[in-house]
């Protein structure tokens, strides 16, 4: 059989075991942030394996793009659910996260145990400026895709000023943007239209198992009874562990407050992890004191170098907070850190599964263009300003680590510039930039 006829043949049905093995593999290789992770899934699932067609892949992606939470993990959950019902979605979404959770628990322990060693200090001296350049590139890319007219530029600028100068909290900025978008969508709807942003991928790679015109599977049909069941189960999965934490440790205890805080953070992650990081910083660093600003930047650096969604930086935050507070006594600090990391991961990702399992049938039943509203467009614009504020925050702590009254860190500034050139001009990927800057930092620290 020729390659052309292979391409025209319908792929064999995929067993749950075969799908499970793929999602397990994906969890270990999903580097490169949301764009890289989505690209990996597109190559594997659309182009090579043909488990799902291009049109259906983009249809699911467009839905995930407007949800709060990590869109790549939600896309994996959606496709897993579409192929193998609820347990398929749970397996896909969980395996996307679990490898990075395990890796971050180990790296967090190594960081807190050996972070003072000169070798590690040197590596992080180079990595921190690289993170600043990476966040700048993320802001640029999101802005390029989002800010299509002067009105959206104005919303982005206003959100930056509100957060950087007036210290307006992230939820208030989101609410204000949504109200502006609601009003603007009625008065000037053309200024709040959005495109899919992925239409350049819209081509066929041959018939797929879930093809453009495949009949809707029974489990993907919308039913009120199923909707109610999913909501009740997910609510119980939130209430039961939260009640256990509160009864065992008290409402104001660290683990309970972590569960409550990261539940709120999970519902605010419009625009991805970069957008919600200021809110996490505000709570974890300034309000609760679970870690300090330098540790927050180091945690983001670790998150950038591990597979899985970048929002997994919350596992680092949880580990450091649990470890430093010795929640189970001074002899069980690792257990305290690991438990806290698992608690924050549970409460951060539970809403993502809820959104997919209740929204998937609606998306598949309509199977038309989703009417993404003007408020969401305005929120996306505001997120750009919030991320640029994050760039300023990182730059300040990297270039003036002791404050403006202290010396300017010229070596760190040069590493930041080098990383920016590598990202913007030479198109290096994140791992290459992080590795090169880590080596530069190490050489500088021992010279």
279: tokens are 């809110």
Q: Which two tokens stand for residue 139?
A: 């802001």
* Highest mean predicted confidence (pLDDT) among 197-201, 248-252, 327-331: 248-252
Question: What percent of the chain stands above pLDDT 90?
Answer: 46
**Nearest-angstrom CA–CA distance, 352 and 54:** 23
Higher pLDDT, 108 or 139: 108
**Between 193 and 434, where is the model more confident?**
434
In whole angstroms, what is the distance from residue 183 CA to residue 191 CA?
12
Q: In the prediction, which pLDDT does 35 show?
A: 66
Query: Looking at residue 139, what is its pLDDT?
Result: 82
Where does the pLDDT of residue 199 fall: very low under 50, low under 70, confident under 90, or very high at 90 and above? very low
Q: List Cβ<8 Å contacts ≥24 apart for 219-228.
A: 219/85, 219/86, 220/82, 220/360, 220/361, 220/364, 220/365, 221/361, 221/364, 221/365, 222/361, 222/362, 222/365, 223/361, 226/361, 227/358, 227/361
pLDDT (tens digit per residue) in 56-112: 887 787 678 778 888 889 999 999 999 999 999 999 999 999 999 999 999 999 999
Pairwise pLDDT comparison (193 vs 337), residue with the higher score: 337
What digits encode the pLDDT tens for the residues 237-289?
999 999 999 999 999 999 999 999 999 999 877 666 777 788 898 899 999 99
Which pLDDT band holds residue 5 (cuts at 50, 70, 90)? low
Count other Cβ atoms within 10 Å, centred on residue 156: 26
What DSSP designation does 12 have? P
pLDDT in tens, 376-410: 778 878 888 888 888 888 899 889 988 888 889 99
Helix or strand or coil: residue 210? Answer: strand
Q: Quote the pTM value.
A: 0.78
Under the banding of pLDDT at 50, 70 and 90, the label for residue 301 is confident
Helix, strand, coil % over all residues of the chain, rounded to 5: 75, 0, 25
> Which residue from 157, 202, 155, 208 is spatially nearest to 182, judged by alpha carbons?
155
For the ranges 183-187, 308-312, 356-360, the one whose mean pLDDT is highest: 356-360
Helix pair angle (254-266, 224-249), 10° resolution: 150
Bigger pLDDT: 228 or 304? 228
209: which 2 tokens? 């198992």
Q: Lowest mean pLDDT: which of 56-65, 163-172, 361-370?
A: 361-370
What DSSP letter does each residue of 70-85 carry, written as one string?
Answer: -HHHHHHHHHHHHHHH
Question: Closest by alpha carbon to 64, among 240, 270, 248?
Answer: 270
Reduce the DSSP state of residue 52 to 3 states and report it: strand
Give CA–CA dist 46/25, Å, rounded.
Answer: 16
Residue 178 CA to residue 185 CA, distance in Å, equals: 10
Based on its alpha-carbon atoms, the radius of gyration of the chain, rounded to whole angstroms, reads 22
How many angstroms separate the first and last alpha carbons of the chain?
A: 62
**Cβ–Cβ under 8 Å, residues 413 and 304:** no
- Whether the Cβ atoms of residue 301 and residue 230 lie closer than 8 Å to each other: no
pLDDT at 214: 83
Predicted confidence band of residue 367 (pLDDT cuts 50, 70, 90): low
Contact (CB, 8 A) for 222 and 361: yes
The mean pLDDT value for 423-447 works out to 89
pLDDT band at 6 (very low <50, low <70, confident <90, very high): low
Report residue 52: phi and psi, to 5°.
-145, 145
Average pLDDT, the chain: 86
The mean-pLDDT minimum among 234-238, 333-337, 365-369, 409-413 falls in: 365-369
pLDDT of residue 201: 43
In this predicted structure, the answer to whether residue 200 has a pLDDT above a threshold of 60 is: no
Query: Is pLDDT of 371 > 60?
Result: no
């Amino acid at each position: 059989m020729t390659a052309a006829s292979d391409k025209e043949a319908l792929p064999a049905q995929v067993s749950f075991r075969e799908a499970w093995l793929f999602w397990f593999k994906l969890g270990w290789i999903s580097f490169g942030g949301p764009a890289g992770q989505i690209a990996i899934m597109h190559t594997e699932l659309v182009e090579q394996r043909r488990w799902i067609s291009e049109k259906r892949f983009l249809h699911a992606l467009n839905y995930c793009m407007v949800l709060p939470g990590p869109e790549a993990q939600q896309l994996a959950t959606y496709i897993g659910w579409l192929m193998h019902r609820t347990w398929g979605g749970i397996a896909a979404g969980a395996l996307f996260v679990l490898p990075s959770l395990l890796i971050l628990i180990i790296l967090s322990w190594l960081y807190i145990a050996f972070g003072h060693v000169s070798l590690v200090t040197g590596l992080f001296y180079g990595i921190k400026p690289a993170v600043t350049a990476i966040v700048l590139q993320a802001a640029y890319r999101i802005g390029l895709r989002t800010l299509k007219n002067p009105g959206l530029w104005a919303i982005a600028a206003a959100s930056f000023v509100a957060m950087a100068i007036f210290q307006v909290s992230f939820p208030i900025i989101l609410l204000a943007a949504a109200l502006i978008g609601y009003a603007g969508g009625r008065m000037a709807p053309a200024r709040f239209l959005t495109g899919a942003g992925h239409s350049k991928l819209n081509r066929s790679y041959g018939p797929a198992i879930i093809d453009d015109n495949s009949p809707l599977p029974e489990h993907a049909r919308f039913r009120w009874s199923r909707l109610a069941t999913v909501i009740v189960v997910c609510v119980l999965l939130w209430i039961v562990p939260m009640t256990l934490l509160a009864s065992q440790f008290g409402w104001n205890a660290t683990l309970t407050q972590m569960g409550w805080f990261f539940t709120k953070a999970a519902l605010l992650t419009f625009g991805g992890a970069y957008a919600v990081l200021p809110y996490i910083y505000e709570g974890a660093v300034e309000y609760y004191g679970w870690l300090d600003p330098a540790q927050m930047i180091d945690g983001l650096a670790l998150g950038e170098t591990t597979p899985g969604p970048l929002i997994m930086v919350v596992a680092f935050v949880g580990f450091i907070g649990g470890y430093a507070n010795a929640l189970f006594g001074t002899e069980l600090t690792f257990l305290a850190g690991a438990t806290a990391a698992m608690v924050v991961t549970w409460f951060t990702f539970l809403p993502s599964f809820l959104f997919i399992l209740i929204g998937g049938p609606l998306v598949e039943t309509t199977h038309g263009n989703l009417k993404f509203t003007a408020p969401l467009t305005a929120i996306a614009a505001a997120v750009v300003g919030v991320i640029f504020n994050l760039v300023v925050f990182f730059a300040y702590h990297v270039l003036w680590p002791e404050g403006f009254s202290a010396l300017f860190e010229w070596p760190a500034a040069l590493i930041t510039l080098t990383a920016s050139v590598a990202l913007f001009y030479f198109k290096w990927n994140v791992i290459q930039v992080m590795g090169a800057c880590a080596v530069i930092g190490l050489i500088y620290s021992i010279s």
